[in-house]
Structure 1
Amino acid sequence: QYIYDLMHPTISYLKHKNLLWQASHTQPTGHGQHTGFKELDNALQGGFPEYGVIDIRSQIGIGELRLLLPSILTRQQQKPTELVTFIAPPLSINSEMLAEFGFALDQVMVVQPLLNKQVLWSTEQSLKSGCCHSVVLWHASLSVTQVKRLQVAAEKGQCLLFIVRQPQQEHISLPVTLGIQLSPSKVGIKAQITKRKGSWSNASFNVYMGAYWPELSQSEDSKVLTFPSRASRAG
């Protein structure tokens, strides 16, 4: 192994910076914060990490925020004095929906900066402040260096950052704790784990959201009803 590293200084450097995953280094199962959805918990072998950066690649308005709410609510209940912060949301955050779901609105903060540099500054300050348990950031383009700074800030503040980005945006592999690709589904949302420390990428799977929002989800066991033909009715 030592000789191999000498022959490949780049590999040695990446390993030293914890930017290289090896198949022999796997994470133990059963850890993490439950997401509120059994299908997602099973795919993540427990749930979301306690803190770090999660990259969510999703179209806007397909239920991506609703997918995160049960886990964020649990974190608020566990840390009632800390905030959940939404930064640069592309649409208005519905306070009535949050209140109905169980959020304490005085512990919810929405930040809408005018400049791009203010967005990243606000995110980094929120993460490392120790005042937030969760931060949700909508951002079009992030560099590896910027994500590294956010990762360090999240670890310092013991905070979980969700970055929501459009799926067609840049395909650079960011140094995040977890990556998830989302797409629409009749039962709720379709998800695929694209990046996870200590694990391979998995096939896509459906997350049934009807337990929380039955009016927005088709039943898992729903069947298409076929009507008899005119000839059979005549008989």
Structure 2
Amino acid sequence: MSALPSIVPPSIGALPDIDAMLSARTVWRAGRAPAVAADGESTGHAVLDALLPQGGWPRAALTELLLPADGVGELSLLLPTLARLTQAGGIVALVAPPYLPYAPAWQAAGVDLRHLEIIQADARGALWAFEQCLRSAACAAVLGWPLQADAQALRRLQVAADSGDCLGFAFRDAKHAVNPSPAALRLEYVAAGADGNAWHVRKCRGGNVPSQAFAGLRA
């Protein structure tokens, strides 16, 4: 009878450094909220920055803006950021915008039009172009209006923004607010009467959703 082969247990490498993982925020202690660095890209609105866990737009990530209709002030919300990025030489791409941007208004808001790119595409091509611009690492920010985007498509956009170290902004119908989303940040517009617009934070990565809304912008 032949002898049974000896079984040699596989070598075990060095155990992970728990302290290092806690510092890197890849894990956190049960019962505690994860520590979040205030390293976001400023929105240009001090009150909104104070509401967001990272002190601004999450970098290298997708932000969803949920709207009841076009033209409720969503671009006014972003213009301070877009102006700052283009003035620093960063490229801002608009993928299949529903309306042609009015150049004099964007310029008056401080956007350097030399660094503004507009990409026209049909619904299917727009989603592909949105993802490629995010992934390219050539853009500081990419704005898209994806009409055909399921959870898998949104996840690809989130991964692309992370890969390209880019700010991604997806404008979507408010009806999608009830659906889960992989976006790092979700803001939903709500009417605020004579005081202008208000934006509710529906989801924010790395912190609790604030109960207070950001108000004050007009369409």
Residue 59 of structure 2 aligns with which residue? Answer: 50
Of 19, 36, 39, which aligns to 2:44?
A: 36
2: CA distance between counterparts of 1:89 and 1:204? 30
Question: Identity of aligned pairs, percent?
Answer: 27
What is the SS of the residue equivalent to 1:49?
A: coil
Residue 65 of structure 1 aligns with which residue? Answer: 75
Residue 18 of structure 2 aligns with which residue? Answer: none
Q: Which runs of 4+ in 1 moved over 4 A?
A: none
What is the SS of the residue equivalent to 1:125?
A: helix
1:1-235 map, 5 Å = 24-28=32-36, 30-45=38-53, 46-59=55-68, 60-78=70-88, 80=89, 82-114=90-122, 116-169=123-176, 171-185=178-192, 186-209=194-217, 216=218
1: CA distance between counterparts of 2:31 and 2:131? 32
Could you tell me how far 1:58 is from its partner in structure 2?
A: 1.3
Which residue identity lines up with residue 71 of structure 1 in the other structure? T
What is the SS of the residue equivalent to 2:175?
A: coil
Residue 16 of structure 2 aligns with which residue? Answer: none
Which residue identity lines up with residue 192 of structure 1 in the other structure? H
What is the SS of the residue equivalent to 1:48?
A: coil
Structure 2: runs of 5 or more not aligned: 1-25
Change (3 A) 1:25 1:141: farther
1:121-156 C-alpha deviation (Å, 9 max, x unpaired): 111111111211001111234212111211221112
Q: Is the 8 A contact 1:141 1:169 kept in 2?
A: no
1:51-84 C-alpha deviation (Å, 9 max, x unpaired): 2100110131110111011112222233x0x311
Structure 1: runs of 5 or more not aligned: 1-17, 210-215, 218-235
2: CA distance between counterparts of 1:112 and 1:123? 11
Q: TM-score under structure 2 normalisation? A: 0.78
Change (3 A) 1:171 1:93: same
1:93-140 C-alpha deviation (Å, 9 max, x unpaired): 1111111111111211111212x2201111111111121100111123
What is the SS of the residue equivalent to 1:91?
A: coil
Which residue identity lines up with residue 152 of structure 2 in the other structure? T
What is the SS of the residue equivalent to 2:42?
A: coil
Q: Is the 8 A contact 2:84 2:111 kept in 1?
A: no
Change (3 A) 1:184 1:92: farther
Change (3 A) 1:72 1:175: same
Could you tell me how far 1:176 is from its partner in structure 2?
A: 0.9
The count of corresponding residues between Structure 1 and Structure 2 is 188
Which residue identity lines up with residue 197 of structure 1 in the other structure? R
What is the SS of the residue equivalent to 1:142?
A: coil
Q: Is the 8 A contact 2:124 2:148 kept in 1?
A: no
Which residue identity lines up with residue 178 of structure 1 in the other structure? L
2: CA distance between counterparts of 1:157 and 1:165? 22
